[in-house]
Amino acid sequence: MPLTIVQLDLIGRYLNIYFGSFMLIAGLLGSCINLWLFTRHRFRKSPCSRFVIASSLFDILHLIVALFLRVLADGFGKDPASSSVIGCRIRYYLITFSAYASLGCRCLASFDRYACTSRSISFREWSSFKIAYNFLIINTFIWICFALPNFLYFNLVPIGPARVICHIAEKAYSNYFAYFVNPVLYFSLPLIIIITLAIKTHKNLRLMNKTKRIKRLERRMASMIILQAITNSISSIPYGIQFFYSVITFTSEKDEYRRAQENLFLQITRLSYYINFISAFYIYYVSSKQIRSTIRRTILRQKKLSTPSTSSSSSSKNQFSDKYASRKSFK
């Protein structure tokens, strides 16, 4: 028996409330742990750590302005961005900036790992702290400027007698996003860059393993970036398919039931898209024994620090009771 329109809408709503909330908490927690990990002395030695730190900061911003507000809008029916034009434009400016800046950091991290594992001495010089900082400044500046048109072309668009949404109000800018920005700049080009660099880095690692000319930390960082590239590529496919489908069928006649089906598919693929912004720490944790041991040692250290205070308090209580008992017996 097929699901009704109401049931399809309820599934999408509960997906946003429960799964979306879980992803939000997991993403914020993972990004904060990444910041803590890669600012430590052991992991700061690699230039790639700078891209991971910057990407984690952009991920936190994106999860707040995109996923958190999306859960409020699609899960609880409360969309703060639709209450004012200024809020609408600021939100989508920050969404665009943080998404592309984070993606740029992942591309730069992939390039850094490729350069670091290169057999060419001159090309390995591209993996340095100075170049990493310069790349980060350029990356941030490009996407700050790139997102500026959102302040002009996003507006509150009515979609019913008593409902408005924050959307692109200019058709030319909408076509620019639909046919160039999303398919080329966000999906196709970064995936080609990341996958190509991941394959080349993997080949370099195989050669380096024979000659053992690469530090263990750099090798592990390269392996983590490769695994993250694969995960991001897979998680981007459903949303890319949904996006191309919506563009192709935009002018098609659709009944209410088909719209409800497409909306549910949109909710599912949109949540899969957020995996790009929540998965970094968990990929690093699974693929790196060094990260697991660092976290384990930190937890054990915290337990040891809390244990003496407990034992000292209990010993002081015992001493007090002994003194009290001796005084009582003396009397």
- Which of the residue ranges 4-18, 54-68, 107-121, 145-159 has the most confident prediction, judged by mean pLDDT? 54-68
Q: Is the pLDDT of residue 267 over 90?
A: no
The predicted structure's pLDDT at residue 64: 94
Give residues with Cβ within 8 angstroms of 162, minimum separation 6: none
Q: Is the pLDDT of residue 326 over 60?
A: no
User: Between residues 165 and 135, which one has the greater pLDDT?
Assistant: 135
The predicted structure's pLDDT at residue 82: 79
C-beta atoms surrounding 213 within 10 Å? 11
The predicted structure's pLDDT at residue 177: 84
The pTM (predicted TM-score) of the whole model is 0.84
The predicted structure's pLDDT at residue 40: 80
Considering only 194-198, 215-219, 258-262, which range has the smallest mean pLDDT? 215-219
* CATH label, 5-282, candidates 1.20.1070.10, 3.40.640.10, 3.30.160.110, 2.60.34.30: 1.20.1070.10
**Domain range list for the chain:** 5-282
CA-to-CA separations, 230 to 38, 225, 257, in angstroms, rounded: 21, 9, 35
Q: Is the pLDDT of residue 329 over 50?
A: no
Q: Mean of the pLDDT values across residues 273-292?
A: 88
The predicted structure's pLDDT at residue 126: 92
Q: Is the pLDDT of residue 34 over 80?
A: yes
The predicted structure's pLDDT at residue 132: 95
**Average pLDDT of the chain, as a whole number:** 83
**What's the start-to-end Cα distance of the chain, in Å?**
86
